Structure 1
Amino acid sequence: MNTITTESELDWVLVLAPFRKDAEYIAASLREQAIEVKAVKADEDLVQHLALSPGIIVITHEALSSDVVGKIAEHLAEQAGWSEVPIFILLERSAPVARIRNRLQASWPDARLLFHTRPIAPLEFVNAIQSNLLVRLRQRQVRDSIERERELRLELNHRVKNILASVSSIFQMTRRGTVSVDDLASDFTNRLQALSNVHTAVFEAGGEEVSLTDVVGLTVSPYNSDGVSRINVSGPEITVSREAGTTIALCLHELITNAIKYGALSEPDGTVEFVWTIAEAGGPHLFLNWIEAGGPPVREPTRQGFGTRYVRSAFGSLFGSVPDITFAPDGFRCRVRGPLSRITPQKHVTSV
């Protein structure tokens, strides 16, 4: 399968050629192929241009002064582990290639050195530059993939810990309300099944949409049983996208976990109100409100935990506005609003 690469995805080329009009000729040949170029003289502020992070450096033999080699060496030393900057060295035919190669390999050990003897055919030179721009693109893609994998591992680890904490809480809540082992086993199994049903509702929905009422109800149901509602929910029937349902369910999970550990659900009489409403001012907007009461006195933490960061980031991305999180003394609160169109088409809203 062919890969289509847009110009904006590719890096740019820094050309360092102090003699005659070499820099202008090199830059012109590259720009003809829509390659972004910045051409500088050896006596100009090279450090300033290197700070802009060129993807490729093209340097002529005449520019290889000790000062220039040293500045480029410092720049390369600051590169991340994934980065192997291609450097094209354009040499005269009479240049001592072996000596120059040894010197530069010792000075620039983390660079991809490519030596060419002048005059070099423009087509050959441009093709070599384009090939190495693609190499740089692949390097960045590998970097992004590794970083994303690292984030996913951290997120998975956090999710597993929170799920285990929830399972433990469900067990303790169930144990307090049962009088026999059979009742404990039955009630605990039912609550775990309800927790599992959230994944069924969100990830295995028949289409690309899911009921917000179902998502919220299945998320909180493990904590409400035997006619006792620790988490009270209310709101109009809304059909949301699977992605929006997933985000809301995961944010609810974080809020519930936090309430179990530190907030209203850590106390026997603590309760939570989770209410969503729709307002028409300025177009349909969805409001989500999480309000805790009856828990221990609330104090704002000295540092922001992963759960709070996730709720801020996830809700902010979903609704286009950062949620208002308040550590009120009488109970933690979280409120977020955003255009209804960001999570579901208008036609899927049913007023109640």
Structure 2
Amino acid sequence: MAPYRKDADYLARLLGDHQVNVEIGLAGNNLAELLAASPGVLIGTHEALTPAAIEAVADHLNRQPSWAEMPVVVLLDRASRPDQVRAELSRVWPRARLLFYQRPVTAVELVSGVQSALLVRLRQREVRDHIAREIELRRELNHRVKNILASVTSIFEMTRRGATSVEVLARDFRGRLGALDKVHSAVFHAEDDAVSIAEIAALTFEPYMVGDDERIVAQGPPVTLHREAGTTMALCLHELTTNAIKYGAMSRPEGRVRFTWEVSKTQAPELGIRWKEYGGPTVEEPMRIGYGTRYVRSALTSMFGRPPQISFERDGLRCEARGLFSPLSATSDSHGS
């Protein structure tokens, strides 16, 4: 703001030569509009500080968010009383960083002061971004904690209904929480809040592998899932593994399990998973569907958007599921190979 002579044009050229973009404003209609754009620094000559301009700036400063404190550079004329001007402007503009220069001021001094003020403004906006990110992280943390507590509550209730003793309840509940803990640890240490199916399988099957034992084989292309899908996958694999150890192929030394996955190379790629047991005892369809089967069916239906095929074949349990890959993928263009 420099209404007299060619001061505004001179300042614009001077600062423009130092890569500082300048907008010229007056105490008229466009001042409020320019201030609404949240300028980095406001520069005003002494004679530009009319009551209307002071009021417009004061209104803008009062509307600033908590992180902001707009720097204001005031160029005083020779006849001014700096202490009096400073006291008055500090009173009407309490939320401004005031810098005063007595004219004539050298170009180097003014440019240096403006650049320093812009740096202050940049730091303020970094604080703004940090605050916004912290608020978002708190919301996300709150959402995740609620989801985890809901999962734990559901797991406990369904485990309790199928338990025949306190010992069985404690053992099964502990195992299911362990599966949840493993995949959350994997996601925590992974980049972009994602985890691969291969890593999920390795974490789930590791406790049941001894040496070079290949009783459980997991095989498929590189596929990365987002956190929710990865958690669901881990819990389902844990349930299938637990069932195989209790009643299926893993209950006998010669029993084997094969877990595979693939991504179809079609216009709308689909992810398919397959669990197959063989070499175990003869399988008979149970009279009552247990927690594990109910959970796997419900979880995979929610995950893939269609129910899985679970069949109790005589030579071993089969479980297959397939659905669109894009809603499950950690990256929109991740198709595996």
Give your verdict on TM over 0.5. Answer: yes
Of 175, 179, 188, 1:190 maps to 175
Of 247, 263, 266, the match for 1:280: 266
* Distance in 2 of aligned mates of 1:129 and 1:173: 66
- Give how far 1:41 is off: 3.5
Q: In structure 2, do the counterparts of structure 1 residues 342 and 158 end up closer, same or farther at CA, with 3 Å as the change threshold?
A: closer
Report the identity percentage: 43
Contact 1:286–1:339 (CA under 8 A) maintained in structure 2: no
The separation in 2 between residues aligned to 1:240 and 1:205, in whole angstroms, is 14
8 A contact 2:27–2:52 mirrored in 1? no
Matched AA of 2:162: G
Residue deviations 1:57-84, cap 9 Å, x none?
A: 0000110100110011111111001100
* 1:117 counterpart residue number: 102
1:239 pairs with one of 194, 218, 222? 222
> Structure 2 length normalisation: TM-score?
0.64
Q: How large is the Cα RMSD of the aligned pairs?
A: 3.6
- What's 1:141 paired with? 126
Match of 2:85 among 97, 100, 113: 100
Preserved CA contact (<8 Å) 1:276 1:286: no
Structure 1 residues 204 and 109, CA gap change in structure 2 (3 angstroms): closer
1:240 to 1:121, Cα distance in 2 relative to 1, 3 A: farther
How many pairs align? 248
**Secondary structure class of the residue paired with 2:23:** strand
Q: Contact 2:264 / 2:271 at 8 angstroms: preserved in 1?
A: no
Q: Are the aligned partners of 2:75 and 2:102 in contact in 1 as well (CA < 8 Å)?
A: yes
2:230 maps to which residue?
249
1:144 alignment partner AA:
D
**Paired position in structure 1 for 2:15:** 30
Task: List aligned pairs for 1:303-318, cutoff 5 A.
Answer: none
Look up the match of 2:24: 39
Residues 43 and 175 of structure 1: CA distance in aligned 2, closer, same or farther (over 3 Å): closer
CA distance in 2, matches of 1:38, 1:276: 58
Tell me the equivalent position of 2:326: 337
Q: Identify the residue that residue 57 of structure 1 maps to in structure 2.
A: 42
- How high is the TM-score relative to the length of structure 1? 0.61
Deviations 1:223-258 (A, max 9, x none): xxxxxxxxxxxxx944245xx5446437x69xx9xx
Distance 2:110 2:144 in 1: 51
**Pairwise CA distance, 1:340:** 7.8
Structure 1 pair 150–338 and aligned structure 2 pair: CA distance change class (3 A):
closer
Partner of residue 233, structure 1: none
Q: 2:139 aligns with which of 144, 154, 162?
A: 154
Deviations 1:149-184 (A, max 9, x none): 222223222222221221111111111111011111
Where structure 2 has 5 or more consecutive residues not aligned to the other structure, the ranges are: 205-218, 237-260, 273-293, 295-304, 306-322
Matched with 1:130 is 115
Name the SS for the 1:109 alignment partner.
coil
Q: Which runs of 5+ in 1 are unaligned?
A: 1-15, 220-235, 257-274, 295-323, 325-333
CA spacing shift, 1:239–1:335, aligned 2, 3 Å? closer
| Cα shift at 1:111 | 0.6
> Is 2:226–2:328's contact at 8 Å kept on the other side of the alignment?
no
Q: Which letter does structure 2 place at the counterpart of 1:280?
A: T
Work out the CA distance in 1 between the residues paired with 2:190 and 2:61.
Answer: 50
TM-superposed CA distance for 1:342, in Å, is: 3.9
Task: Report if the CA contact (8 A) 1:240-1:344 is conserved.
Answer: no
